Amino acid sequence: MNTIAAFQDTGEQASLLPLNQLVTAPGLLERVWPDARSRPSLRWLRDQQPSIPTTRAGRRVLFCPAHVLAHAGNRLTVLPQHWTRLSCNPVQMLAPDTLIDAAGLIKFLTAEFGLQRSIRWVRQQQIDRTLPYIRWGRKIFFAPTQIRATLQVQ
């Protein structure tokens, strides 16, 4: 009991606590995509299910959000071109904590850095491979931790 209380008092690690619990598909969508407008549909998740790490309990399919985010960070991330030439990649080492879409990225850039950008700018950065993004099926997502690290280095 004391170790759990000590673990929860450590701020950043407490935010990782719910990511290690097994959840159903709707729970996964809520934890990985906290912004409701950035969140993909349940049908999209079911279509992507063969490529996502899952756990079966009888007929139920459960997901561990931490494993799903690690899978997205390791296998699905498209890195900026100038990072792919480096052997030690700071952006690749950061595991995503949440995922957002292009509209969420614009809100994030405005809140964090005071940058006013458009969807066209985000898509051009994606084409030029100057910002890291996660291509998952036909959808494009961004990890705020990776974006923050990229913009601080530039």
Residues of the chain with pLDDT under 50: 1-17, 86-88
Identify the pLDDT of residue 55: 93
Identify the pLDDT of residue 88: 47
Instruction: Give dist(CA 115, CA 55) in Å, integer.
Output: 41
pLDDT score for 12: 39
* pTM greater than 0.85: no
